[in-house]
């Protein structure tokens, strides 16, 4: 059986529902793909340059703030620049936005409100209404990679977050190469993808929460498929 190793970056907690769901979703999709995955949870404090020598892909997990913001952003940047499959969900999505703002758009002081709520350059801000526990319908941009993965222009997914993109920064973010490919009923950006990359997708929602043995989440399956092909 084919095998691959993936790293899940975050501060693992066995009592945190999205982390439990992450492990389960990987099992569901691995069974569907008939590929064995060696899965390693790695605290952001323990990220080192050996990360990518030992893993074919990274999943930046929910559960921020992370212990080491700079190491998390370093890993995301490396994956983005070196065509390493990268999936970011919830907090992972937020940190992918932050890395992009700093290192692609040039806002070196771009910040996340969990770390510095009083920053004058907040690209990630606290949501006016928490999305934790909510299920919401999404509309995907036609012909986007994510819509192709789902095989649909819409989906319903679950959230577990209190932070999202600062509305004041949306136009700045759209000025670069990142594609913003899904919005919810409120018109807010919920999915990003990077064109011409093997797999670089971030979702503010938590796709692993709706994965089952009978119906693995397609985003997770596509991520693992990309990892297996590396």
Rounded percentage of the chain residues whose pLDDT exceeds 90: 89
Check residue 131 and give its pLDDT: 83
Check residue 113 and give its pLDDT: 96
In angstroms, what CA-CA distances link 19 with 14, 25, 99, 102, 105? 7, 10, 23, 27, 31
Which residue stretches of 110-214 are H helix? 145-150, 170-173
Check residue 76 and give its pLDDT: 98
Check residue 1 and give its pLDDT: 58
- How many C-beta atoms lie closer than 10 Å to residue 176's C-beta? 13
DSSP conformation class of 14? T
Interior CA angle at 97 toward 146 and 167, to 5°? Answer: 95
Cβ–Cβ < 8 Å for 95, 76: yes
pLDDT, tens digit, 9 for 90 and up, residues 9-43:
999 999 999 999 999 999 999 999 999 999 999 99
Indicate if the pLDDT at residue 198 is higher than 70: yes
Length of the chain: 230
Band of residue 116 on the pLDDT scale cut at 50, 70, 90: very high
pLDDT, tens digit, 9 for 90 and up, residues 125-144:
998 878 888 898 999 999 99
Q: Under CATH, which number does the domain 3-229 receive?
A: 3.40.50.880
Indicate if the pLDDT at residue 120 is higher than 70: yes
pLDDT, tens digit, 9 for 90 and up, residues 187-196:
788 999 998 9
Listed in sequence order, the residues at least 6 apart from 164 whose beta carbon sits closer than 8 Å to its beta carbon are 94, 124, 125, 127, 131, 188, 189, 204
pLDDT, tens digit, 9 for 90 and up, residues 56-68:
999 999 999 999 9
């Amino acid at each position: 059986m084919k095998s691959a190793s993936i790293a899940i970056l975050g501060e693992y907690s066995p009592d945190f529902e999205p982390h439990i769901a992450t492990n389960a979703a990987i099992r569901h999709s691995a069974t569907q793909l008939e590929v064995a995955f060696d899965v390693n949870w790695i605290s952001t404090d323990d990220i080192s340059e050996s990360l990518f020598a030992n893993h074919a892909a990274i999943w930046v997990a929910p559960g921020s703030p992370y212990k080491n913001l700079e190491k998390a952003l370093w890993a995301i940047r490396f994956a983005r620049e070196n065509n390493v499959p990268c999936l970011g969900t919830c907090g992972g999505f937020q940190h992918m936005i932050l890395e992009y703002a700093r290192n692609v758009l040039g806002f070196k002081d771009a910040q996340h409100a969990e770390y510095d709520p009083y920053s004058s350059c907040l690209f990630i801000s606290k949501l006016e209404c928490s999305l934790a526990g909510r299920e919401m319908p999404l509309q995907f941009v036609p012909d986007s990679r994510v819509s192709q993965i789902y095989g649909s222009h819409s989906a319903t997914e679950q959230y577990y977050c209190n932070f999202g993109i600062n509305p004041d920064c949306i136009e700045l973010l759209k000025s670069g190469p990142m594609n913003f490919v899904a919005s919810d009923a409120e018109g807010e950006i919920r999915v990003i993808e990077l064109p011409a990359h093997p797999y670089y997708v971030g979702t503010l929602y938590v796709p692993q929460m709706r994965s089952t043995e009978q119906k693995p989440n397609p985003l997770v399956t596509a991520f693992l498929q990309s990892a297996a092909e590396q």
